[in-house]
Amino acid sequence: MTMNSASRDSNAEVFFPDPLPGQERFVAPLDQTPLKDVDSINEAVPATSMWADAWKTLRRNPIFIISAVLVIFVLLVALFPALFTKQSPVSCNLQNSLEGGGSGHPFGYDLQGCDVYSRVIYGARTSVSIGVATTILVTIMGGLVGAIAGFCGGWVDAVLSRVTDIFFAIPMLLGAIVLLQMFRTSTSIWKIVFTLTLFGWVNMARITRSAVLEAKNLEFNTASTALGSSPIRNLFRHIIPNSLAPVIVMATMSLGSYIVSEATLSFLGIGLPSSVVSWGGDISTAQNLLRTNPSVLFYPSAALAITVLAFIMMGDAVKDALDPKSRTA
């Protein structure tokens, strides 16, 4: 555009080309538009991070408080079951078969004469341990695969994405049933953990890949590269830490599903052996007593439901706290 003439606003000390018809505009002088208090920044207030803002939001969320109390209680029961019962879960007496609750045995006895309360307490250790261990391995495996795929791109992303799609097409529970049926000679806790990890890392990889793809195109990565930082340093120092929010949410909400998966496998008789105390095994044993003595089935089922609900509620609360849109709503 060629400027033939120019008009000058003497108050604003700014030169403007002659406007075309319909493009007239007015610029107020600076002395008529002073800086308002609402536009000022209080430099005395320290800057906050996303995690600090999220924690501030979580402290005021009653759902998070309730779920945190339940999760802490479940973890205490799983880590220190002896604090809650002195009765051995494998000490059974057929003379006490299906007796009701009494002093020291509030939940009564099951068909084998085992104390239901002590089995519920010690069953938390097995179920929660499998859920936590599976979540840690899934987060590490899926996080690394997703981070490498999203950061490298190109043929690396294409290959890893196709491998992820193959595992994604196999339902986790169905794949675990088939795999455990092939190796039923000896079933242990770690075999259950590795089986669930093998079919459960896919969702974590997809979430991590999306987060890394978004983070690697932000300004801080470009600035770090311009300052001479290597790609590997950028990945582990800047990109992955800034991609952890969705990963943490996914891990928190998935932990409950892994506990349910272990209970389902034990209920079907292909999970942990009967010698290992677990909620799924007790539910499977008590299913035939639903009509005659439902309390034997109710207590391990209630413990399983409350634990899973606590982790799901915590995951929802963390998701709302780490979502900027929900924080500003």
Contacts of 19 (CB under 8 A, 6+ apart): 25
Q: What is the pLDDT of residue 328?
A: 45
Pull the structure tokens for residue 217. Answer: 């195109």
Topology (CATH) of 77-328: MetI-like fold (1.10.3720)
pLDDT in tens, 31-78: 766 656 555 566 666 666 777 778 888 888 899 999 999 999 999 999
Alpha-carbon distance 202 to 53, whole Å? 30
The one-letter code for the residue type at 320 is D
Q: What is the pLDDT of residue 52?
A: 78
- For residue 15, what are the β-bridge partners? 8
Asked if 16 contacts 6 with a C-beta cutoff of 8 angstroms, the reply is yes
As a dihedral over the C-alpha atoms of residue 61, residue 65, residue 67, residue 73, rounded to 10 degrees, the angle is: 170
Pull the structure tokens for residue 197. Answer: 């990890």
CA atoms within 13 A on the CB side of 161: 13
Q: What averages of pLDDT result for each successive group of 10 residues across the chain (329 residues)? A: 44 56 67 61 66 82 92 93 86 80 80 88 90 93 91 89 89 88 76 90 91 84 79 82 86 89 87 84 85 86 92 88 61
Q: Radius of gyration over alpha carbons of the chain, in Å?
A: 29
By C-alpha distance, which of 277, 279, 255, 257 is closest to 267?
Answer: 279
CB atoms within 10 A of CB 71: 18
Rounded to 10 deg, the angle between the 116-152 and 244-267 helix axes is: 140
Q: What is the pLDDT of residue 6?
A: 44
Q: What is the pLDDT of residue 188?
A: 79
Q: What is the pLDDT of residue 74?
A: 93
Asked if 120 contacts 105 with a C-beta cutoff of 8 angstroms, the reply is no
pTM above 0.85, yes or no: no
Instruction: Tally helices (H) and strands (E) across the chain.
Output: 12, 2
Q: What is the pLDDT of residue 3?
A: 44
Q: What is the pLDDT of residue 145?
A: 92
Q: What is the pLDDT of residue 277?
A: 87
Q: What is the pLDDT of residue 245?
A: 86
- Residue 77's alpha-carbon distances to 30, 68, 70, 278, 327, in angstroms, are 67, 14, 11, 13, 34
Alpha-carbon distance 220 to 290, whole Å? 60
